[in-house]
Structure formats: C-alpha cells, structure tokens
Structure 1
Amino acid sequence: MSMEPIGVLTILIGLICLTLGTGALVHGLAILAVLGAAAAMLIGAANIQPGHVMLVFLAFGALSRRREAAAAIRALHPNEPGFWFACLVIYGVATAFLMPRLFAGITEIVPLGTTAFDDTGSTVPLAPVSSNVTQSLYLSTTLLCLVTLTAIAGTRQGFSAVFNALLACCIANTVFAVLDIATYATGTQELLGFIRNARYTLHTDTEIAGMKRIVGSYTEASVFARSTLGVLGFTGTLWLCGVRPGLTGSIAGLSLVLIVLSTSSTGLAGAPVMLLLLHAFAMTRLVLGNAARQAAFFALGAPVIGLAVVLLLLLDAEAIAKIYGYVDLVVLNKASSDSGIERSSWNVISFQNFLDSWGLGVGVGTARASSFAVALLASVGVPGALFYAVFVFECFLRPRGQPGSLEADIAVAARNGYAGLLIGDLLVGPIIDQGFSFCMLAGLAAAIRPRTSSVPRPVPSFTGARI
C-alpha cells in the first residue's frame, strides 16, 4: 500500500472537517467526490479515491451519534428506498463470490479485472477476477454513503447541509472543467497532475477536430459528460423552480456549454434529451399555473430561440457544414469507429452472459459492458434489476413533498439530476456502481417524505432560496 500526496491532503481535510461538524464533512465529501482521476491510496491494483477516504470520516462523524445512527437504521426499513438498494448490494456481493465459481466456464466474458490472466480485452472463460472484490467493496461503500446521507438529511439542518453540498459538488465539477481547459491551453497540465495519479488509462490530453476533449477532474471525456448531464438536470430544474436562480442558472448554462464543447458523444447525445426533459417540466408547470418566471420564459422562449438559431444557421452554409462535420465526427460515426465497435461487442458478449447464467447474472465486477442496463443484467440478472427498479421508483419517481413547496421542487431536481446521470450511464456505463453524486441525489430525495405519507418531515429553510 502506498499513500499519495492527495491522500495525505484528504486525510488532513477529513480531520479538519471532523472538528467542524457534519456540514463540513458533507461538503468535503461532495467536493472530493468529483476527483475521479485521483487515487488517495494505492493498494495493489486497487485505486482508493479521495471520496472513499472522506466517506470514512463522514460515516464516523455522523453515525457515531445516536440520532443519526438511529436514522441510518430507519433508512433500511422495508418502507424506505434504502432497503431496496441494500437488497441490490447484498445480492450483488453474493453474486460476485458465488456466480463466477458456480457458472465457471459456461460462458465467455470480457473481464473487467484481472487475476490469473492479462486484461487484453479478448474473451476468456468465466472465472473469478480481482474486480469481484474491488467492485463489491465500491458498491458497499455506495450503500454506506447513501444510508449516511439519508440519515443526515432527515433533519432540517442536515437537509440544508446535503443540499448545499450538492450545489458545491456541481460548482466543483464546473471549476475543474474550466481548469482543465485553461491548463491545456497554457501548457501547464502538470498543475493538475496531483489529482490525475490513478492507475487507470487516462485520456486527459487528447483532441478531436482540433478541440480539446474536456475531462475536468475525471479520466475521460465521456465520464465528465455523464457527470455534467447530472449537474445540468439538477441545477437546471432548480433554476426553473426559482431556487437560487442566479447560482443555479449560471451553473446550468455553463454545464450545457461544457457538454457541447466536451467532444463527447455521450454529452452531445444526452444533452438534447436533458433539454427536452427540462422543457417538458417547464411546460407542465406553466400549464398547471405554478410556473416561476424562469420556467415560463424557458417554456415559451426556448422553442422560439431554437428556431431563430436554426434559421440564422441556414443562412450560413459554412457554419452548417462545420456543425454537421463536428456532430458527424463525434456522434454519427462513433458506432463505426474502432472504439464504438469494441464497446458494442462488449454489450453483445455481456448480454450473452446474462442469458447463459439463466438470468441470475455472472456477478458484480465479472464482466465488462458499455451500458448500465447491460451491465446490470449481466452482473446481477433479473433479481438485481428488480431491486434496482423498485429503489428508483421509491426514491425518485414517487411524488415527494407537499405540492408547490421548496422540498417538492428539490425532490424533482434530484430526480432530473439522477435522470442526467442515468442517460450517461445508459450510453457508456461499464459497471453498476453509480458513485457518490448519485448517492447525494438519492439521499436528498429519500429524506423527503412521499406525498401519501402521514409522517411529517421538517421543511428545510434556505435563506433567500427563491430570491
């Protein structure tokens, strides 16, 4: 095991936040969680990210108190979304250790990790791999994060802390993207070297059509685009609801620009879907008569502005040619590229793993896919997919909060933020662990009572939230 400089810094931040209280711990986790290309510690082939180290401090600081510990236990009650996610994790960990042995050799896999063979990208007979252990640990820490954040968000003060921390996470995502562009343009990429030390394949200095592929603090452009789609969904919805419109509108606007400029097919394919989702939400609020100024402007003005832009572009053939060439290179020809063909083959092989395992899955961390849906079926099969579907329904799709209230708007924002992450995962997600940003959105949503519940929940108060 080796400790990296960013790991020492993370521990210092954790100790400081521990003395400052739960709010500081949650903010520390939120900001460090975006460092997807960093390794605080290296244990063999495993990269322990700063976010996982910070989670230890958060869990210790929060769950060592009786009230939060009791709330964490309640978060695992069968009536709560956390119960179904816990079922997914328990089943997933069990499959990771049982299925590669039970079904050994019955199907060919593209291994996600390595144990007795080199990870060449070619298929090998089903057998245990090192990532069965690492991915099980990552999925278990995701459950711990979800339960801890749900427990913290169960009080008015804690809810406000998690909400503000999630906004801090969105800001950090944007700031690191700008730093990525700035350091590349000035030839000072080494300044970000301390957060790009993970033993992954990093694509931080690549270009397409003369444009820098924006990776921010992540390993590659597609991962950045996936994260930023979540930021767009969350902050865009808050802006439409009039919640801190200056801040949330600025982050949403910058996120959309960064997605378009990222040269990621994930971002360019996902952004129109997110914009349509936000426009549908704004139109719904307008029809129901409870639209804020921003929602009314977006619902009525966005189509007009979009049409005007299209008409202006039609007058400039050269601009149309450049835009079409960019979209064709990044999106339309992606499936026929070498990487596109390779990723498609992963999905075909992984789906065959699902069929060969009789719908039970070949185990978490066993097979490599290029879509969250395929990875879910291949890893945990039908039982795991059902656990996940119930969790998503209970956490994000059930109406939460009193209609028209601030907490109801935040619940919808969390749902749309999750939708952004899911769009990215469905396009390129190789594993079923969706990370800490997913946990923060889920914890925030799960802490808000469903509208049909008779159990009261303190309504959070944010000074100037709608000003």
Structure 2
Amino acid sequence: MTVTFIGIIMAAIGLLLLIRGSLAAMLAFLMLSGMMGGSAAIILSAIGGSSIPPAQFALAFVWLRMVIPGSRFLDSLGPAFRQNFWLIIFVVYGVAIGYVGPRLFAGEINVTPLRFSGAGGGLFDTAPLMPTSQNMTASVYLIGALLTAVATYVACMYRGGANALVKTAVVVAWVHALTGILGAVGRGTPIESFFELLRNANYTQHSQAYEGFIRINGIFPEPSSWSAFAFSWFVFLAECWYRSIEPKSTGRAALLLALVMFFSTSSSAYVGLGGYALFFAIRMSFFPNLASHSRIKEAIVIGLAGAVLTAILLAVLPSFTEAIGQMIDDMLFAKADSESGRQRLFWAMQGIDAFFMSWGLGIGPGSFRSSSLATAIIGSSGLIGVISFVAYLVIVFEPRRGSSWGAAGPMAARLGGAAATAAVVSQIPALVAAASPVPTSEFAILAGAALAFRRIGQPSNAATEVQGEVLAEAGMEEPAPIRRGWRVAD
C-alpha cells in the first residue's frame, strides 16, 4: 500500500476539518474530491495495483466526523439507512454475489475482464470467468456508494447541508469546466505535465485528439469519464435553476458545463445532453405550471441564441461548422458501425449472456467489462440487482410528487426534486458507457440529498425544526405562497 502525495494532502485537509470543520464542510470536501477522477489517494499494489480514489478517501473522514464520540449525528444514522433500504439490498447482494458468483460459475462462460492480466488487447478478447481482484475492488466501491448516500443524507438534514450542496456544486462546475479547458489549450505545455502528475491512478490513458480537435478530459483519464462527471452536476444545477434555487449562480454554472461538454468530443456528453434536452422539452410540455415563467422565457432565449449563433457560424466559418457536424455524426451515429461501436456492443451483450447462464443470479460485480449500466447490472447482480436498483430509483424520484417535475412546494421539496431528478437523469450516459454496475459517487450524493430534503419537508417530522435552520443557513428563504397549479411566484 502506497499513500500518494495527493493522499497526504487530503489527509491533512481531512484532519483539519475533523478538528475544526462542520459536517457540511466535510460534504463539500467530499464533493470537491470527486473532481480528481483520474487520481489515486492510495495505491494498493497487493491487489493488482487497484487504487483508492480521492472521493473514497474523503468519505472516510466524513464518516469519522459523524461517529466520533459525542457526535450529535449518530441518531440520524438509523433513519438514513432505512431511507436507503433498496440501495442496501443492491449493495449487500452485489457484494455477496461478487464473492460467490465467480467461484460458482468459474469457467462456464468466457468474458472480457475489467482488467486483463496477460498480453491480451484485441477488440473481442475474452478469458474464462474466474475470481479476480476486480471483484473485491467492485465490492469496496459498492459499499462506498452506500456509505456516500447515507453520509450525504445525514449532512443534508443539519444546518449548512443545503448551502454546502448547492454552492459547492457551483464551485465544482466552474473548476471542472475550467480545468477541462485549461487541459485542452495547455496540451504540449508544462500544464499537461502537471495534469499528468495529478492523474496518478492506474487507469488507461486514451488518445486525446480527434481529427484535429483536442479532446477535453481535465484531470480524468478520458473524455467520457470527464463528461459523465460534468453531466451529473450540470443536471443538478440546471434543475436548481429551473426551480428558481439560486438561479443566477446555478444557471450560469450549468450553461458553462453544457458548453464545455459540447466541445468535449465525448459521445457520452452528446447522449447525455440530447437525452436531457428531450426530457426538459417533454416535461415543460406536460407540466407547464410547474415552472416559473422567468425560467421558461430564459430557456427559450437560450435556445434562440444557440440557433442564431449556429447560423452565424455556418455563414462565417462553414468549414469549421462542417467539421463540428462531422465530429458529432462520427461520435453518435457512425460510431455504431465502427470497430469501437461493435466492441461496446459485444461488451454490453456479455451481461445478457451472463444473466441467462447464471439463471438470473448474476456472476458478480467486477467479473466482466460492460458498456452499459443496464446490462452491467443484469449480468453482475441478476434479477435481485435489477429489482433493487430500479426500486431505489423510484423511491428517490417519487414520480407522484409535483416537486419531482418542477417548482412545487417549499424550498426543501424543491431542493429534493432537483437532486432526485439529477440522480435519475444523470444515469443517461451510464446507460451507453458504464463498464460496471457500481453507481458513481455523484449519483450517491444526489440520491442521498434527495431523500433527506424530502423527509425534511414532511409534516410532523422530528427534522421539521431543522428545516428552517437548513434553509436560513443556505440563504434560501421560503418562496411566496404557492399559487394554485404549483407555480412559484416569479
């Protein structure tokens, strides 16, 4: 085990916050740590060079802050675990089948491992199923996702939680976008060397250029992972803006992330942005009364501005816009017929094969590489994994609530709706790119926050007294009385 220089710096910050900081500050620390997606705080050489990423390392300090003797947060742990019941089922079964599955079905199916130990590297290379260190790594990450959701739930139930979530998300958006831009324009300069120093985890570094375009990956190993992280916080900030929660800061940050994602040359970014645009349009059509008139006007203005800018670029720089269009076509539509597209389809179909071969039990998280969250869950955790994960998404989103679709109810409900929508919608890129069934830390943070804020908004709740403190600390006053039709006053 090797503690990296990043781990040493994070340990110093974590200890300082443990002594002098609040749980809300710890939540901010956890969120900011997620930006270092290509970094390692600790490298575990004994289990194949796997690493503990900064977000998982920061999570340990969050939990220390909650369980230290004399902590006032211990009483909230019980409700936090109960609210995340279906995620517990998903994780516990995933850990169990991750140990049993590769041993029970060893050699009965050939799969593409998450990490080849030999010299394999062909597009469709496979190896007989067997237990590997990746099963252990996936199990640790699954437990980390559960602990992240529970910790976020607790943090958002107390003073400063709302403030930390929203304002740190804005900071994350700006820093993530700017480091992505800086990494692209600084290619071939000392900036690139500095970013490579930060990307110290044992991840494969992919080509960062396409037909003359420099791809954006920031501190992440590849553009797709950079875009997936960006998309999660983009959706949350856009949903906050849509619900008039700090609309100036959240709206600007969301717009910046959207623009940088558009130029990232990542197919995951294009699928995510397209999927969210479709969701946004359908929601606004079916639930127009759940949006502020100001937000609708601003959305129309942004759409018209984008159309006008596109028209100007077509007239002034036709060759540039043609190259952009060709790039998007290659990344989205032509990719299915490419070698990469056929490889991803092959990886995804492994999950279906594993499901039937294992009689619906699954062969364990970490046993094979997928290219879709759906088939990764199907093949890894079987029927129980599918049911528990879908049930968790439904519990988080609560489709019967007005706040799930727009600006309805008090501030706590609107915050919960923004986080819930972001948690669910942010899975769009994972449906076409996720290599394993492990939920991301961003998903866990958003899901835990959604469950907490919605519990705060429930009447006759022990947390009701905390609600005023949470919103006041965040500088978010309750809106004017809600008019009929759930429309918040502009």
Q: CA-to-partner distance for each residue in 1:60-118, whole Å, 9 max, x for gaps? A: 012225432221122222xx2x1110111100000011111111222221112457x66
User: What are the equivalent positions in structure 2 for 1:255-334 lying under 5 Å apart?
Assistant: 255-283=257-285, 287-288=288-289, 291-298=292-299, 300-301=300-301, 304-305=304-305, 308=308, 318=319, 321-334=322-335
Q: CA-to-partner distance for each residue in 1:248-272, whole Å, 9 max, x for gaps? A: 1111111111111000111122212
d(CA) in 2 for partners of 1:144, 1:134: 15
d(CA) in 1 for partners of 2:377, 2:120: 21
Question: Are positions 1:423 and 2:428 aligned together?
Answer: yes
d(CA) in 1 for partners of 2:290, 2:58: 43
> Judging changes above 3 Å, is the alpha-carbon distance between structure 1 residues 164 and 68 closer, same or farther for their aligned structure 2 residues?
farther
For the residue of structure 2 that corresponds to 1:42, the secondary structure is: strand
Alignment equivalent of 1:75, drawn from 80, 88, 110: 80
For the residue of structure 2 that corresponds to 1:188, the secondary structure is: helix
> Judging changes above 3 Å, is the alpha-carbon distance between structure 1 residues 251 and 49 closer, same or farther for their aligned structure 2 residues?
same
Q: Which amino acid aligns with 1:68?
A: F
Report if aligned partners of 1:265, 1:330 keep a CA contact under 8 Å in 2: yes
For the residue of structure 1 that corresponds to 2:335, the secondary structure is: coil
Alignment equivalent of 2:413, drawn from 385, 393, 408: 408
> Judging changes above 3 Å, is the alpha-carbon distance between structure 1 residues 318 and 51 closer, same or farther for their aligned structure 2 residues?
closer
The match for 1:13 is 13
Q: State the Cα distance separating 1:381 from its structure 2 match.
A: 0.6
Q: CA-to-partner distance for each residue in 1:355-394, whole Å, 9 max, x for gaps? A: 1111110011111100100101010011111011111111
Alignment equivalent of 1:56, drawn from 57, 60, 76: 60
For the residue of structure 1 that corresponds to 2:363, the secondary structure is: coil
Structure 1: runs of 5 or more not aligned = none
Report if aligned partners of 1:162, 1:440 keep a CA contact under 8 Å in 2: no
What percent identity do the matched residue pairs reach? 26
> Judging changes above 3 Å, is the alpha-carbon distance between structure 1 residues 289 and 56 closer, same or farther for their aligned structure 2 residues?
closer
d(CA) in 2 for partners of 1:3, 1:313: 49
> Judging changes above 3 Å, is the alpha-carbon distance between structure 1 residues 114 and 411 closer, same or farther for their aligned structure 2 residues?
same
For the residue of structure 1 that corresponds to 2:51, the secondary structure is: strand
d(CA) in 1 for partners of 2:165, 2:20: 15
> Judging changes above 3 Å, is the alpha-carbon distance between structure 1 residues 68 and 222 closer, same or farther for their aligned structure 2 residues?
same
Q: State the Cα distance separating 1:129 from its structure 2 match.
A: 1.4
The match for 1:109 is 111
Report if aligned partners of 1:76, 1:83 keep a CA contact under 8 Å in 2: yes
Which stretch shows the higher mean deviation, 178-187 or 22-31?
A: 178-187
Q: CA-to-partner distance for each residue in 1:107-151, whole Å, 9 max, x for gaps? A: 221112457x66646212221111011110111111111111111
Alignment equivalent of 2:178, drawn from 175, 178, 186: 175
d(CA) in 1 for partners of 2:36, 2:6: 10
For the residue of structure 1 that corresponds to 2:16, the secondary structure is: helix
> Judging changes above 3 Å, is the alpha-carbon distance between structure 1 residues 313 and 419 closer, same or farther for their aligned structure 2 residues?
farther
For the residue of structure 2 that corresponds to 1:171, the secondary structure is: helix
The match for 1:235 is 237
Q: CA-to-partner distance for each residue in 1:301-350, whole Å, 9 max, x for gaps? A: 45555665666677676566334322222222212222222111111223
d(CA) in 1 for partners of 2:164, 2:402: 19
Which stretch shows the higher mean deviation, 84-93 or 224-233?
A: 224-233
User: What are the equivalent positions in structure 2 for 1:210-221 lying under 5 Å apart?
Assistant: 210-221=212-223
d(CA) in 2 for partners of 1:218, 1:406: 34
User: What are the equivalent positions in structure 2 for 1:137-148 lying under 5 Å apart?
Assistant: 137-148=140-151
Q: CA-to-partner distance for each residue in 1:250-300, whole Å, 9 max, x for gaps? A: 111111111110001111222122123234444556x317515123331x4
Structure 2: runs of 5 or more not aligned = 480-489
> Judging changes above 3 Å, is the alpha-carbon distance between structure 1 residues 306 and 112 closer, same or farther for their aligned structure 2 residues?
same
> Judging changes above 3 Å, is the alpha-carbon distance between structure 1 residues 291 and 97 closer, same or farther for their aligned structure 2 residues?
same
User: What are the equivalent positions in structure 2 for 1:325-404 lying under 5 Å apart?
Assistant: 325-398=326-399, 399=401, 403-404=408-409
For the residue of structure 2 that corresponds to 1:75, the secondary structure is: helix
d(CA) in 1 for partners of 2:362, 2:201: 29
Structural RMSD (CA): 2.6
> Judging changes above 3 Å, is the alpha-carbon distance between structure 1 residues 318 and 54 closer, same or farther for their aligned structure 2 residues?
closer
Task: Give the TM-score normalised by the residue count of structure 1.
Answer: 0.90
The match for 2:485 is none
d(CA) in 2 for partners of 1:289, 1:49: 39
The match for 1:202 is 205
